[in-house]
Structure formats: C-alpha cells, structure tokens
A = this chain, B = another copy of it.
Amino acid sequence: MIANSMKPFLAGSSVIRAMFEEGKRMAKVYGPENVYDFSVGNPGLNPPQEVFDAIDYINHEMDPHDVHSYPSNAGYESTRTAVANDLNKRFGADYTFENIVMTVGAGSAINIIMKCLFDPGDKQIVFAPYFVEYANWARNYGAETLVVPPNEAGGFEPNAEELKKLLCPEVKAVIINNPNNPTGAIYSEESIKAVAEVLKEAEKEYGHPIYIIADEPYRELVYTDAKVAYIPDLYDNTLIAYSWSKSLSMPGDRIGYVAVPPKSDEAEEMCGALVVANRVCGDTNAPNIPQLIVERCIDARADLGYYKKNAADLYEIVHGAGFEAIYPQGAFYLWIKSPVENEKDFVAAAKDERILIVPGSSFASPGWVRASFCISNETIQRSKESWEVLGKKYFG
C-alpha cells in the first residue's frame, strides 16, 4: 500500500533510526555525558540576541495581518529586498528582490530548483562525498544522479576532468556544496573555475544550459583564511540555495532562499517558475515569522567562533590519537581517514569506545568517516581518552 518509489527511502531511514536508538540506549547505560555523539548535524549554539529581539518586534510592533496572512508565494518583498541588498553588498552583485525566492530552508530551495529543471529521464551530477538527499530529491522529479568519484588525491576538491567523463546531453545540473558537508573543505577557486570551463563547453556542445546548484548553508562557517568563492562570478548559470540554519543557528525554523543571478539564462522566467514551484510543491510560501526574523537579522550571526575552537580542539585530539584527518576549513565536520579498509568496522570499534561517527559510505566515500563538531566543547574534551584508546587499538 505504500508506494514502491518510497521503499528505498524507508530502508535507508531505518539504518539512521537504528543508529539514533543505539545512541539513546548507550546514553542510558553509560550516562549521556559519557557518550560522544559526533553523528548529528544539529547545531548546539543558540541564535544571537538579534533573533529574540526580532521576534518581539514582529509580535508586538508589526501589523498582525502583515505577520500572519499569506505573503506572495515568493515571500515578503521587504525580506527579499534585504537579502538582495546583502548579496549585492557582500559580492558586488546586482540582485533585486525579484531575483530572490524565499523557501522552507535549503532543502526546499533545492527541491523547487529541481522541479523547475528536471523532466523525467534528466540527470544531475554530484561530487562524492555528497549529502545523500541530493539523489533522493532528484528522484522526486524523475532525475537520475551521476556521481563523480571522491578525489582523495586532490583533497576532495571537485575534479573537472572526472566530471567531463560523466557529462551527457541529459545533464541539466551539477551540485556544488561549499563549504562542504562532510569533508569540511572549502573548494579552491581554481577547482571551481575548472568545473565552470568544462560546463561552459558542454553547454555549447549540447545547446542548453547546465546549472550549477550552489548549496551554501555553511557559507559563513569558515575557520581558516580560505575564501569561499562566489560561484556566479565564475559561472553565469548558477542558482544559489541558502539557509540560515547554521549562520543564525535556527535550523528548526526552516528558512532559506533561492537566488537567481540576473545574468543567468532567462533569469526572469526562472524566477517566475521557482515561485510557482513553491506552490506546486506544496509549501505555498516560506513561513512568515522566520522570513521577518532574517530580514531584521541580515547582518547577525550566531557565535560561530565557537565552532572554530571546536574544529581546532577536535582535530588536535583525533590527530593526536594517531588518525589521519583533514583540518576543517569550514562547515562543522571533521573528515577522518579510516585506519582499516572497511570504515564500517572502524565506526563499530569507535562505538565500543562510546564515540558515534558516520561512515563515509553514507556519502558515497567509503574509507573515511565524518565527525560533526557542532556539539559542546566539553563533550569534545571529554572524548579525548576514548579517541586515545581507539588510536592505540590501531597504532599500538
């Protein structure tokens, strides 16, 4: 009775659920302070004070009808204007409110982009390691996902040469998630330029646009002097999907946007289609209060320095215990090389030390694991002994 097309999702979901239940079981047995859960991506920070002040303003100073009735399907003009102005200021861009469509987080932003781009039989390309929902979402619209293999030798940067091998006329989009989940890498401008060159050639050859979907919820989470490229400067047909889940630490509020660069192909038509897709995909509009919050908090950030310390401390502990890991430039993930070929064995061994991490095969990159450091610094500090015990198992 449940649709066959839903069944693969249910199987995958039960694995995650089993892990979640196991975490709860362990917390009961060992005490929650003795379980080091690096598996989740739920920010431990609170939103900045500006968010609470904005809610008070919205609830007491605004016309209730403006706050609670339907805005346009695209969102409030005032919110979209604030976003456009912010992007123009930061990136020298030339957006107006009409280039911005407010969405229910980045997930929904990517879904309405896909609804507008894909017909059944179309394809998208992702770079491994990648967030598994990308393929699930594309399947909603009948599109298949081709995977560029993980570029381990090149620091997991997107590999333009490998991308080229996968291109075919059915490809309508390529997803770039930068800063990256799960590797914590910030892609070099050089790599992205190389990807752009390959795509420009392919656009000419096939005679239709190939969009880069720039998934950028981690844009502001940067811990080194690496610069996060503004992709529309390198490639016209870019659609940006953004979420405030991380920068304002309010993922449960579900607020994001799609930005359509004015110089992208038929930008006006695309904006119109995205607005309609917001309705046709069932969301109607992004929730009002979060729209009005972000409008008032466009310059605010959660205390992101907290993650910088977590990044340094967790890297030091894990590296100090003997493991090879990539120092996180951004996002909030430490990407660790498994000391044994099958990283699932490593995940199991870590669990014996009450360390919960996610196998790289969940991101199409076996041989590595992901440790999320959006948890408390105290938990990271307390995990040190367990990492050391784990390291001794492998490195003596």
Interface members, chain A 80-96 (any B CB < 8 Å): none
Asked if B2 contacts A117 (CB within 8 A), the reply is: yes
Asked if A116 contacts B3 (CB within 8 A), the reply is: yes
Which has the most chain B C-beta neighbours within 10 Å: A270, A279, A289?
A289
Residues of the B chain whose Cβ atoms lie less than 8 Å from the Cβ of A286: 254
Interface string of A85-120 (1 = CB under 8 A from B): 000000000000000000011011011100111111
Asked if B10 contacts A272 (CB within 8 A), the reply is: yes
**A283 part of interface (Cβ distance < 8 Å):** yes
Please tell me the number of chain A residues within 8 Å of chain B, measured between CB atoms: 77
Residues of the B chain whose Cβ atoms lie less than 8 Å from the Cβ of A1: 117, 208-209, 265-266, 270
Residues of the B chain whose Cβ atoms lie less than 8 Å from the Cβ of A208: 1
Question: Which of A30-38, A68-76, A365-373 sits within the interface?
Answer: A68-76
Which has the most chain B C-beta neighbours within 10 Å: A5, A71, A265?
A5
Interface string of A281-319 (1 = CB under 8 A from B): 111111111100000000000000000000000000000
Asked if A273 contacts B116 (CB within 8 A), the reply is: no
Which has the most chain B C-beta neighbours within 10 Å: A3, A52, A276, A285?
A3
Asked if B59 contacts A46 (CB within 8 A), the reply is: no
Question: Which of A136-144, A156-164, A324-332, A337-345 sits within the interface?
Answer: A136-144
Residues of the B chain whose Cβ atoms lie less than 8 Å from the Cβ of A280: 6, 9, 133, 136-137, 140
**A379 part of interface (Cβ distance < 8 Å):** no
Q: Which of B46, B60, B104, B119 contacts A68 (CB 8 A)?
A: B46
Knowing A110-B282, A116-B6, the reply to whether A252 touches B290 (Cβ < 8 A) is no
Residues of the B chain whose Cβ atoms lie less than 8 Å from the Cβ of A251: 68-70, 284
Interface string of A43-61 (1 = CB under 8 A from B): 1101100011001100110
Asked if A104 contacts B141 (CB within 8 A), the reply is: no
**A214 part of interface (Cβ distance < 8 Å):** no
The complex places the Cα of A142 from the Cα of B284 at a distance, in Å, of 20
Residues of the B chain whose Cβ atoms lie less than 8 Å from the Cβ of A269: 2
Asked if A3 contacts B141 (CB within 8 A), the reply is: yes
Q: Which of B65, B270, B287 contacts A253 (CB 8 A)?
A: B287
Residues of the B chain whose Cβ atoms lie less than 8 Å from the Cβ of A285: 252, 254
Nearest CB on B from A199, distance (A): 14
Knowing A140-B281, A282-B281, the reply to whether A254 touches B4 (Cβ < 8 A) is no
**A362 part of interface (Cβ distance < 8 Å):** no
Chain B's closest residue to A42 (CB) is B70
Knowing A69-B42, A252-B68, A276-B10, the reply to whether A2 touches B133 (Cβ < 8 A) is no
Chain B's closest residue to A137 (CB) is B282
**A381 part of interface (Cβ distance < 8 Å):** no
Nearest CB on B from A109, distance (A): 8
**A249 part of interface (Cβ distance < 8 Å):** yes
Asked if B55 contacts A104 (CB within 8 A), the reply is: no
What would 26 A/B residue contacts be, using CB atoms closer than 8 Å?
A1-B209, A2-B116, A2-B117, A3-B122, A6-B273, A6-B276, A10-B272, A13-B272, A42-B70, A43-B69, A51-B68, A55-B59, A68-B251, A69-B251, A104-B282, A104-B283, A104-B284, A107-B284, A110-B282, A140-B140, A140-B281, A252-B288, A254-B287, A255-B287, A287-B290, A289-B290
